[in-house]
Structure 1
């Protein structure tokens, strides 16, 4: 991070240029934030220091994603996962807050809480290792945040020091949910996608046979605590096959300075059998974990202390933010085919809506009746619109907090609905639609 200001990102629609009082130049984003110096960069985004134009004292971190640079199919779902995960994880003191999502035709902007203390990895590198009280203090905060994630259907899957930030008071913040999994991705209660950083990833994740996201995060916590205390990785081999064989044998050693009680915690977390591995809910009940927790000066953003009762009760609930989910509704230029496959064959149409499922179904029933459709309700819920041989199946999914994807699809693939009939439905549904995601032509 240099002391000189780099050039601001390219301008986009609705972005204008201005000159700061100090003579430097910055970009004004959608008349709300001014970008300042570069904080970091990744494979598909840059993170800038930003300042609110409504309150010049409010500083934020703004991740700028260039849609043209995200043509790699692997990047698109990662962006969606990151936003979807962070939107349901508001108001936990150890999770980096996502304030707002904005977009133009060429850029996506994630406005996030600023963590000026930087990566915990940098601090660990300077210290080489943490004392046991310091390691426990950071570890308690990580576990607290992950339990909250799990309760809200988010599994991080990439816990490591590089993804842990510090705020101005030294409070830990988990970030980078780009590799996270959401509860709705489960099949038979398990997750089947393999991802993460190999040295921190649970051995069962790589086999693609299905795994428990909570237990996978618990393994990563064990590796993290080992790194905090030992100052090195327990498993570190460029040959991944050898490394995973070592994980299965638990072939690692503890430095002499690691206490017996800490060793037991790590050993139980890094159990290669997820069925017998220590869970995070079990972890918080252990005396080693609870030691000194209520006495530590762990201040939340409101200056309140976090005691052991916080881990037991975990009072935080996600509070949905009402704003336009522009990453979807302004998706031109970003291929979101994984969610919204465009079909110009008059077989289906899709739209997003911000009203509740009951209101969506009520509107569909009303509009369908106006145009001569009979309404059929399934035993397990859901509706179909029937007119003659035409049967439209309605499916509704929650894709983000207070955002629903609605699909009307012809039941018989051999049938074709005329454009006029689609347009009738579209015109009738207009007042509940945020954005159409495939135009029938």
Structure 2
């Protein structure tokens, strides 16, 4: 498919033949976010574009991007921003994500006259925040940077937790199950994190939720000091005051969340027992359904079907280092053949060339035994416009070198063996 032929708007740009990039939504130090629409039709998405050279040239940025992608691929919840897929060229990385048209919570609060929400609205937002983070914790992900800037809203005002760049996964834990990396935003970080002590990631997120709830109700931070040491001291001593309009049940809940002792701090998963949550049976029902990742009528959420060709992987051990590994070789081709026939032909061709087809976490892989060390080829398929399918082949080499497309990796031999299954064949270098 010729990406240049897509779209008549001269200001738009086709991304790898799959998405039509539109207006710029925002920019940061390392990334720009664009509005985009699938070429084959469907809902608009947000595409985060990262410059590989900048990411690789900045200490700590490559691991942060990998953490964000790995964490978001593990999570499917109506209140967690959805990562649809990851695309890459030689110079750019594209994160295709759910579009949240309501902006971030900080901007929403800043636009209000008193910078705070009415009690019922604050409760609704907070219930969704607790639901999202409890779901993350149950799947081994601690966010570690929960703040209003990382809480987005969709067009209906429903919450979407975003930015998992500082998140912690199970492989980040020490032998005692705790974390020791100090990270996050000081005004929202737990005292144990600021003091660089070992901490429980879920309990640290609970503290951040307490700060957010205070901000939603009061209109300002509970601890606000330019001196981090003084701010930490105030947090440890619980030196904060509630405005008179904050209800007693809400005060008790905030106090239990802003407990400087993580051992006695309330856990997010137990908040259904708190009186503040029980003021509305519908909200209680909503929280229970969302904590279990179930469909809930008020949000009209329905998880899309998963199949063997989904790009999104739920594997906790997913290795994404190939995004930055120059030894990684990637090829894509278009086919009108069915997914079943395409995989059958890939298996046949691979077997003839000395490859072994193996299954791995819902994504079909080829293990190449003819190269030094271990080489794994991941096959990912997605539908563009029936019956046209996009097939992406990603080769990851653990040892040894390759010298480009068609040399050392057997790409041309594979293409020849696939025959008429291949309609058009592209290297990622073509984009």
Q: Select which of 51, 62, 73 maps to 1:76.
A: 62
- 1:170 Cα deviation (Å)? 1.3
- Residue 354 of structure 1 is matched in structure 2 by none
Alignment of structure 1 residues 19-418 onto 2, 5 Å:
20-22=7-9, 24-55=10-41, 57-70=42-55, 71-90=57-76, 92-127=77-112, 128-187=115-174, 188-292=176-280, 294=282, 307-311=286-290, 313-315=292-294, 322-323=310-311, 328-332=321-325
Post-superposition offset of 1:209:
2.8
CA 1:202–1:330 in structure 2 vs 1: closer, same or farther (change >3 Å)? Answer: closer
Is the CA contact (8 Å cut-off) linking 1:45 and 1:66 kept in structure 2?
yes
Shift of 1:120: 1.6
From the superposition, tell whether residues 225 and 402 of structure 1 become closer, same or farther in structure 2 (CA, over 3 Å): farther
1:164/1:401 CA distance change after superposition, 3 Å: farther
Give the aligned CA root-mean-square deviation in angstroms. 3.3
Aligned length: 339
TM superposition shift of 1:86? 0.2
CA distance in 2, matches of 1:17, 1:268: 57
Structure 1 residue 307: deviation in Å? 2.3
CA deviation map 1:335-364 (0-9, x unaligned) = 9xxxxxxxxxxxxxxxxxxxxxxxxxxxxx
Residues 277 and 283, structure 2, Cα contact 8 Å, conserved in 1: no
C-alpha change, 1:144 and 1:426, in structure 2 (3 Å) is same
Distance 1:126 1:208, change over 3 A: same
Q: Deviations over 1:38-86 (max 9, x none)?
A: 111122111000010010x421000001101111121111100100000
List alignment gaps of at least 5 residues for structure 1: 1-13, 297-305, 336-365, 368-397, 407-422
Which sections of structure 2, spanning at least 5 residues, go unmatched?
Answer: 296-302, 313-317, 329-353, 379-394, 403-431
TM-score, structure 2 normalization: 0.71
User: What's the secondary structure of 2:33's corresponding residue?
Assistant: strand
In the TM superposition, residue 314 of structure 1 has moved relative to its aligned partner by 4.3
Cα deviation, residue 311, structure 1:
4.8
| C-alpha distance in 2 between matches for 1:283 and 1:326 | 35
Determine if contact 1:104/1:330 at 8 Å carries over to the other structure: no
Secondary structure (helix, strand or coil) at the match of 2:58 reads: coil
1:172 Cα deviation (Å)? 0.8
Q: Matched residues in 1 for 2:6 and 2:293: separation?
A: 46
C-alpha deviation, 1:241, in angstroms: 0.6
Q: Give, in whole Å, the separation in 2 of the partners of 1:165 and 1:101.
A: 20
Separation in structure 2 between the aligned mates of residue 185 and residue 15 of structure 1, nearest angstrom:
42
Contact 2:127 2:283 in 1 (8 A): no
Distance 2:190 2:376 in 1: 47
1:207 deviates by: 3.0
Provide the C-alpha distance between the structure 2 equivalents of 1:323 and 1:314, rounded to a whole number of angstroms.
21
Q: Report the Cα distance in structure 1 between the residues aligned to 2:49 and 2:281, rounded to whole angstroms.
A: 37
Aligned 8 A contact 1:103 1:326 in 2? no
Report the Cα distance in structure 2 between the residues aligned to 1:36 and 1:262, rounded to whole angstroms: 43
For residue 284 of structure 1, give the secondary structure of its aligned residue in structure 2.
helix
TM-superposed CA distance for 1:426, in Å, is 2.9
Distance 2:262 2:2 in 1: 50
Q: Distance in 2 between matches of 1:287 and 1:202?
A: 24
C-alpha offsets along residues 284-343 of structure 1, whole Å, 9 cap, x if unaligned?
A: 2212123225159xxxxxxxxx624315644489968733889533424699xxxxxxxx
Distance of aligned partners of 1:312 and 1:93 in 2 relative to their CA distance in 1, 3 Å threshold: closer
Provide the rounded CA distance (Å) in 2 between the counterparts of 1:307 and 1:328.
38
Alpha carbons of structure 1 residues 79 and 265: separation in structure 2 relative to 1, 3 Å: same
Q: Distance in 2 between matches of 1:156 and 1:184?
A: 14
Shift of 1:282: 2.0
* CA separation of 1:106 and 1:268: change in aligned 2, threshold 3 A: same
1:355-399 superposed Cα distances (whole Å, 9 cap, x missing partner)? xxxxxxxxxxx99xxxxxxxxxxxxxxxxxxxxxxxxxxxxxx9x
